[in-house]
Structure 1
Amino acid sequence: MSNNAMVSSVENDRVLVLERVFNAPRDLVFQMFKEAEHLKRWWGPKGWEIPVCIIDFRPGGVWHYCMKCVDENQGHFFGMESWGKGIYEEIVEPETIIYTDYFSDADGTINEAMPSTLIKIEFHEQDGKTKLVNRSEYASAEALQTVMDMGMLQGITETWDRLSELLESIK
């Protein structure tokens, strides 16, 4: 697996597994996920910014954020805001982050009409690099298909590309 190759697979019709190797030490990659000032620099697809990012990084803590499209070339997405809320369930630093991810509004109210995701991110040390394994579990195959139809896989690919670029610039 090269530095820029993301591998994806689906297990049991409702678990999306993504893997990618980042050319940076595990502690640094983990830090990119736990601090708002870092997440604001890479989270979201190209052309999107994070104007709001509030993190209480502990089990039971909440991560509330807004992604906003700032790229006029993205047509009807330009100016659009997408709010999310994560509730951390387990954190083993620098190995694992488990949280449930929800669509929300600006006040943090969960959008029950949209699928939630149980996410487990594992950070594996690999000769000075980090293999990231992201398991996103949905309630049903239909829920997974809903987010896939929204372009989630492309969005994650672009997000992880941005993370890789940031890591290369600061390591």
Structure 2
Amino acid sequence: MISPAPHNNTTLVLRRTFTASRQRVFRAWITPRALEHWLRPRGMGVTVSQLEARVGGSFRFDLEDGSSIVGTYLQIVPPEKLVFTWSGRVTQGRETVVTLDFLDQGAVTEVVLTHEGLGTEAMRALVGAGWPSLFDALAEVLSSPHLDL
């Protein structure tokens, strides 16, 4: 279940629990094959054309509609935390910052996503509507025994 947390009008905070180890959930965010299975709008394909999972490294995800999501890794603490910039169509090209905290809860992992710098309440609402479906797709990927993470 996703729980939104109150914050200011340019920051979105979501919490979601996944039935998977913290290591597996963390790796799903930095493994191209996994990302191509879940980090996409429903019904749209995505290609990970670049992914350098290191501080200062960048990523580029190309969507079937011709748009891209780009960013740079600012902090990587396996398997506890990822911080990266995020820019794409949904942020209207604005560079935002996503922080992911991976909390070990035994048999499950809680992910706390904080998406900052969204500019307006409308952008915050748009981004807030997208992450839950991505988290649903991530849950499906994490439950698949066929994806080596």
Q: What range describes the TM-score normalised by the shorter chain of this pair?
A: 0.7 to 0.9
Q: Which residue does 1:66 correspond to in 2?
A: 62
**Number of residue equivalences:** 145
TM-score (norm 1): 0.77
* Cα distance, 1:166–1:113 mapped onto 2, change above 3 Å: closer
Matched, 1:158 2:133: yes
Identity of aligned residues (%): 26
Match of 1:115 in 2: 94
Query: 1-side partners of 2:2 and 2:114: how far apart?
Result: 13
User: Which structure carries more relative contact order (alpha carbon 8 Å, separation 6+)?
Assistant: 2
Aligned partners of 2:68 and 2:56: how far apart in 1?
Answer: 19
Q: Following TM superposition, by how much is the alpha carbon of 1:86 offset from its aligned partner in structure 2, in angstroms?
A: 1.1
17, 23, 30: which is aligned to 1:27? 23
Give how far 1:168 is off: 1.1
**1:21-71 CA deviation, whole Å, 9 max, x = no partner?**
000000000010111111011111211211343200000000111122xxx
Q: Runs of 5+ in structure 1 lacking a partner?
A: 69-79, 105-111
Deviation of residue 114 (structure 1)? 2.9
Alpha-carbon deviation of 1:103?
2.0
CA 163–103 in structure 1, closer or farther in 2 if over 3 Å, else same: same
Q: In 1, are the aligned partners of 2:10 and 2:124 still within 8 Å (CA)?
A: no
Deviation at 1:153, TM superposition (A): 2.5
Aligned match of 2:11? 15
Which residue of 132, 139, 162 maps to 2:111?
A: 132
- Asked whether the equivalents of residues 58 and 72 of structure 2 are also in contact (C-alpha less than 8 Å), the reply is yes
Contact 1:89 1:99 in 2 (8 A): yes
Matched residue type, 1:29: V
Tell me by how many angstroms 1:113 deviates: 5.7
1:81 and 2:66 correspond: yes
Partner in structure 2 of residue 47 of structure 1? 43
State the alpha-carbon separation in 2 of the partners of residues 147 and 114 from structure 1: 14
* 8 Å Cα contact 2:38-2:137 kept in structure 1: yes
Q: CA RMSD in A?
A: 2.0
Find the aligned partners of 1:139 and 1:33 in 2 and give their Cα distance. 21
Measure how far apart 1:158 and its partner are.
Answer: 1.1
Amino acid at match of 1:86: G
Larger Rg: 1
Q: CA deviation at 1:147?
A: 5.0
Secondary structure, in 3 states, of the residue corresponding to 1:64? Answer: strand
Q: What 5-or-longer segments of structure 2 have no aligned partner?
A: none
Distance 2:128 2:109 in 1: 21
